[in-house]
Structure 1
Amino acid sequence: MKMLKKYFNYGLTLVIMLATPLLYAKAESQVLATVDNLTITSDQLEMAVASSPFATQFIAMNEDDQAAIRGDLLRRMVISRLLYLEATHQGVDKNTIFIKEMNDFRLSQLYRHYMDKLRSRIQIPEEAVAAMKSQFKGNADGFAAARSAYLADRYRGLRMLTLQKLRDKYHVRIHEERLLPKSSDDTLLLEGDGIQITYGDIAPDRIDKKQINSAWLNDQLYKRAELLLIAKAAEEEEVDVSPRVKAFGDERLPALLVEQKQREWVPDDQTLKDYFRLHPEFGQIEERRHIGQLIVANRKQAESFRQRILAGESLFNLAGQYSIDPYGRSRNGDMGWIQPGRGMPQIEQALSKLADNEISGVIETPAGFHIITILERRPGSTKTFSGVRDRLLQAVISEKMNAYLQELEKRHRVVWNVIKEDTNPSTKTSASGGS
């Protein structure tokens, strides 16, 4: 079985496993999948769920929705590990871009740690707090703003004093006379004990040359100097940011490989234009309809509401009070602009025969009994290449990525370990599947 088929059609077995989180709570962490020698455990999956955009709503979801989210995250984690292994196989971790990004991230984490510690040293004297409370009595927002302004002012002063001390400590010398827009990359702009900054450090080739002037260069130089000085001070205090740096690298390597492949797949716009010529449907924008809808649980109620609407009551007021669709009820029945073919077949059939502002008959679907209307339409149109370029880019990359993942399957073995639900609580069975 091809890996992509597993990723995107794995439904039933993943739902069996992922809809039963209590299994994980009762037992030790389970290995859900392996990619070569890399494992994905139930604990790691739960951490991914907790840090996902759905985390706050997750507990309120039903089991099927929870299982779908877990399944999607697990597939993404397997793909990420596939790309990570391939990136290291291709030596992307030795790439100068990756090495520079890792170093810059390490410096930023050292800087952040040191400055957070510096900020935590600032205390507001009791008499200053009392004065603020007196001035902003009964005004909590005003008091909070005054307190923040006081801390910010003290932080700026402490920061400048700290930087000056570090410049003296590391014998920093700045060569502002060399700060010219056309300097060579190896021109030394700042030097000190264990610290140096060259022109190439602050004005790399990827920077738009139009924005490079003396004022911009001066600003970049002092920002870089501050970063290096603070990071060096943090290192001397033996601040350890290695776990965060490793986590960043683990995420960045796959992304860097994908960026590299994307440049290979789409080297220029001509590639996209050729694709557009073969797939002109990307330029076709279908008619869109602005839909209103009321859904209820039984036909008798639907027929009653329909008669009330025909007699002059508002479908939207009724939907806001009685619709069994939470989304529709929250929007008073306004379903927004919808393209043909996006709804259930029964709804599509009714819409195809409906005139603007006409109230439909009662339509039965698995979701309930619907009454719909079309408020207005936007006619279809044809877009030029520039209007659909981003969609074309996504389509080409998606096709190439699918084929690329199949290639990676042949190089890196994937094994799924699926915990199946057992009616006997004293036993469990596990279904493992390779590529």
Structure 2
Amino acid sequence: MRIPVTLMAACLLATSAWGDTAAEPAQSDANVLARVGDRIITFSQLNTQLNSTAVVGLSTPALGTPERRTVMLTLLDKAISVNLLYLDGVGKGLQEDPVFKRELQTYADGMLAGLYRRHYLKAAQDISDQEIDGYVKKHFAKDIEVDDTLRPLIEAKVKKAKYITRKQGLRKHLHAGMDVKIHTRHLDIEEDSLRSDDQVIAEFDGIAMTWGESKKYLATLNNSINIERRLETLNGLIDNYLLAKKGRQAGLDQGPDFKAALAEFSLTRLVNLHRKALAQGMEPTEQEVRDYFEKHKKGITFNEHRKLQMVVVKDEQTALEIMEKLEKGELTLYQAARDHSIDPRAKQTLGDFGWVEEGSGFPALDEEAFALEIGELGGPVETPAGWHILRITDQRASKYTDIEDPDTQQQTRRLLLKERLNEYVVGLRKQDYPVVVYEENLNRLMQEEAQWIAAKSREMEQHPERARLILEDMKALVE
């Protein structure tokens, strides 16, 4: 069965992939939840997203719960929207946008620099017998016996010394065979405002590094204290370029993890740039903002909220007696809620009723609650639920109530743009890129997950000694 899923307006991007091209491998059809054009969204992708990343506005329900399916559907909607915008951006040629290409290059270079640094320093972990013997001869007496207890300690010392030596020699290794020139006279801090962006400040590996491409790093407050800090940062920029080059020469850009991370960054940045460009083209006029506010005022306005602590009893006499004890200090509101409230939750909540919105409750109770000051005791007030004694413990002021207020205008504009973007994405789905959702796969996989959790829970109850191994299995499932 193939059914549509309603698109959500928000296109939330986070650190795990929202989709892969269908041409890319290794995805069983049984694991596919949706196809967007030539891209696929899998259960494992969304499961990783849900379990490993803090997602704005979403909780992380326990494995096997109905709430988890609801959140997975929300993530699936977001992934569909993101992929539609990505395909639209690619179709509009945004991959050739200079800003996008520059950011992609910077990200790739940064990753490769880190990978090659670790690759180079990892060699310090390889210790030969000759290095062990050399260390022993240098630091120990001739008749010392290197047994199984002493040898690991010596290996650790040799590794540490070798690591420090390689780390200190990293720049020399990078600069080998090339002439690196830094034009210190063009880095004078007092000349920053006069210096041309075309001014060459360093030359290496056939590259002329200019002030214009480097000043965002070199002209920071921290690097404008003295020339030494500026030179240190500039050397770091050169090192990172050379590290990235070495990484490519070593084939580190061909690894699956690197390719996956670069593809993910590419999707994220392209969609964000596309959304920004779309929003600029959808910018509403002042009158459109005002009209939207009038039409959607109820959904935009945030009414005043009060946080209540409350006791509810059956009759007025009981309420008056409790009120008298409260005013004399013979009883606290916590005790009154615990011992006298007819609210079935009172023994657990001790009368903490939570936040209420103005105009959302019984009229008499609402009037009393929003007339009290913070900490003031109020009541008794009669409602169909009983007689109420209450105290206000906190409040949140109303906002977005007047379109003349700049914050209200900004909030209204933001919601209007969000609605327009959502309509644009729905149009992409209807007219440009086919979307197929496999709900039967989601239902089956969620059921299998719930059954697996149930089986593991029973196993833990029957074999407590195996609980640790089972928990490790469960942890591996969500990582």
Question: For 1:419, what is the secondary structure of its paired residue?
Answer: helix
Q: Is the 8 A contact 1:309 1:315 kept in 2?
A: no
Change (3 A) 1:50 1:5: closer
- 1:6 aligned residue: 6
In structure 2, do the counterparts of structure 1 residues 292 and 233 end up closer, same or farther at CA, with 3 Å as the change threshold? same
Shift of 1:307: 8.1
Paired residues in the alignment total 359
Whether the 8 Å CA contact 2:365–2:383 is kept in 1: the answer is no
The offset of 1:283, in angstroms, is 9.4
Percent identity between the two aligned chains: 18
Contact 2:8–2:422, Cα closer than 8 Å, also in 1: no
1:351 Cα deviation (Å)?
2.0
How far is 1:294 from its partner?
Answer: 6.5
CA distance in 2 between partners of 1:52 and 1:330 (Å): 31
Report the counterpart of residue 426 of structure 2 in structure 1.
406
**How far off is 1:104 after superposition?**
0.6
In the other structure, the counterpart of 1:42 is 43
Paired with 2:31 and 2:396, the residues of 1 have a C-alpha distance of 52
Q: 1:378 to 1:238 in 2, by over 3 A?
A: closer
> 1:303 deviation in Å?
11
The aligned residue for residue 221 of structure 1 is 234
Q: Are positions 1:59 and 2:62 aligned together?
A: yes
Q: Which one has a bigger Cα radius of gyration? A: 2
The answer as to whether partners of 1:80 and 1:254 remain within 8 angstroms in 2 is yes
Q: Secondary structure at the match of 2:73?
A: helix
Matches within 5 A, 1:369-384: 373-375=390-392
The alpha carbon displacement at 1:92 in A equals: 0.8
1:7-406 equivalence runs, <5 A: 7=7, 29-53=30-54, 57-59=60-62, 62-63=65-66, 65-117=67-119, 159-179=167-187, 181=192, 182-203=194-215, 218=231, 221-240=234-253, 241-266=258-283, 271=284, 273-278=286-291, 279=293, 286-293=303-310, 310=323, 311-312=325-326, 313-316=331-334, 333=352, 335=354, 338-340=356-358, 346=361, 350-352=365-367, 354=369, 356=372, 357-359=377-379, 360=381, 373-375=390-392, 385-388=405-408, 390-406=410-426
Amino acid at match of 2:417: I
Instruction: Determine if contact 1:4/1:406 at 8 Å carries over to the other structure.
Output: no
Q: Which has the higher contact order (CA 8 A, sep 6+)?
A: 2
C-alpha distance in 2 between matches for 1:167 and 1:113: 18
Q: Does the Cα contact within 8 Å between 2:309 and 2:352 map onto a contact in 1? A: yes
Q: 1:275 to 1:62 in 2, by over 3 A?
A: same
CA 8–76 in structure 1, closer or farther in 2 if over 3 Å, else same:
closer
* CA deviation vs aligned residue, 1:195-215 (integer Å, no higher than 9, x gap): 4422232136x9999999685
Q: Is the 8 A contact 2:116 2:247 kept in 1?
A: yes
Shift of 1:168: 4.2
Cα 1:349–1:265, aligned 2, differ >3 Å: closer, same or farther?
farther
Distance change in 2, residues 1:156/1:251 (3 Å): farther
Counterpart amino acid of residue 408 in structure 1: L
Matches of 1:194 and 1:370, distance apart in 2: 84
Q: TM-score, normalised by structure 1?
A: 0.65
Q: 1:272 touches 1:393 (CA, 8 Å); kept in 2?
A: no
User: Which consecutive unaligned segments of at least 5 residues does structure 2 have?
Assistant: 10-27, 126-158, 448-479
Q: Which amino acid aligns with 2:61?
A: F
Mark the runs of 5 or more structure 1 residues left unpaired by the alignment.
10-26, 124-150, 426-435
How has the CA–CA distance of structure 1 residues 335 and 234 changed in structure 2, closer, same or farther, with 3 Å as cutoff?
same
Q: Deviations over 1:326-372 (max 9, x none)?
A: 9x957972635x5325xxx55677424555332455765xxxx9967
TM-score, reference length from structure 2:
0.59
Quote the Cα distance in structure 2 between the aligned partners of 1:121 and 1:166. Answer: 15
Other structure's SS at 1:262 match: helix
Alpha carbons of structure 1 residues 30 and 173: separation in structure 2 relative to 1, 3 Å: same
Q: Secondary structure at the match of 1:191?
A: strand
Task: Say whether the 8 Å CA contact 1:82–1:408 is kept in structure 2.
Answer: yes
TM-superposed CA distance for 1:391, in Å, is 1.8
